[in-house]
Amino acid sequence: MTASQAPAPRETPLWRAMLAIVWKDLTAEWRSRELLSSMMVFALSVIFIFNFALELDARTRATVIGGVLWSTFTFAGTLGLNRSMAAEKDRGALDGLLLAPMDRSAIYLGKVLANWLFMLFMAALVVPLVSVFYNQNLFSPGLWGVIALGSLGYVAVGTLLAAMAVQARTRDMLLPILLLPLVLPVLIPAVRASMGFLRGLPWEDFAGAVHLLVATDLIFLAVGYMLFDTVMAE
């Protein structure tokens, strides 16, 4: 059989390629602990700044804690998103992923899932600290559901934009400029739903925010899935 008649490599199934990318990212992070450590240091810095800059009484703090929480997630998450794609580019692994016999959308879905897990791990460490500093009980199942939904929408759009910005020399500046305006449809309902659960409001008062958050997550995931191949081709 000649080289021209050699069978083409079989394409790896989407789910298997996606899980392989997630495992690769988790293993690499376990060995280096670079991404999570930088996210946590940044998150702690934001918490300290808000804690000492906002000299508020206990009642006022209870009304702003949702915004403080999501501001911390946003700033630290942006650093993590930028680093997750930049590491692939700097190590030359991104070209290898693009040349692998698999649907390129698996790269996007795998990166989204890995970044989502990193965000949830960071949230598991940040929320208790915010609870202590602001003397508020943040251990609510509903709040954790909102954190999971909001983080998913955040990384869904952030991973796509990080893939776009990684090719630019000014990627550290470009990603926040692109991401922060586009992620507002996630952050606004996430803050409202978080405050609804924390303040014990009736479900009807903030159910619309939760529904909007779910819809935004689905839209961002669908758009990222469809556009990732085009973004990487460019």
Residue 40 placed within a domain: yes
What's the whole-model pTM score? Answer: 0.87
Which token pair is 170?
Answer: 């000014």
How many domains in the chain? 1
Domain, as residue range, for 105: 13-233
Q: How far apart, in whole angstroms, are the C-alpha atoms of residue 104 and residue 7? A: 21
Chain centroid to CA 207: 23
Cα distance between residue 216 and residue 207, in whole Å: 14
Angstrom distances, CA of residue 155 to CA of 27, 59, 117, 137, 160:
19, 32, 10, 26, 8
The answer as to whether 66 is a domain residue is yes
Q: Evaluate whether residue 146 is within a structural domain.
A: yes
Distance CA 114, CA 51 (A): 30
Q: Tell me the CA distances in angstroms from 165 to 162, 176, 191, one per residue in order.
A: 5, 10, 27
Return the closest-CA partner of residue 85 out of 28, 43, 20. 28
What confidence score (pLDDT) does residue 170 get?
74
Judge whether 190 and 206 are in contact, CB under 8 Å: no
Q: Give Cα 89 distance to the centre of its chain.
A: 19
d(CA 122, CA 69): 12
With respect to residue 192, please indicate whether it lies within any of the assigned structural domains.
Answer: yes
Q: Is 174 domain-assigned?
A: yes
With vertex at residue 33, the alpha carbon angle to CA 139 and CA 43, rounded to the nearest 5 degrees, is 45
pLDDT of residue 172: 73
pLDDT, residue 1, reads 44
User: Is residue 21 domain-resident?
Assistant: yes
Residues lower than pLDDT 70 in the chain: 1-12, 55-60, 62, 90-96, 98-101, 234
In a domain, 4, yes or no: no
7 inside domain: no
CB 111 within 8 A of CB 82: no
Residue 144's alpha-carbon distances to 33, 62, 115, 124, 148, in angstroms, are: 24, 17, 17, 9, 6
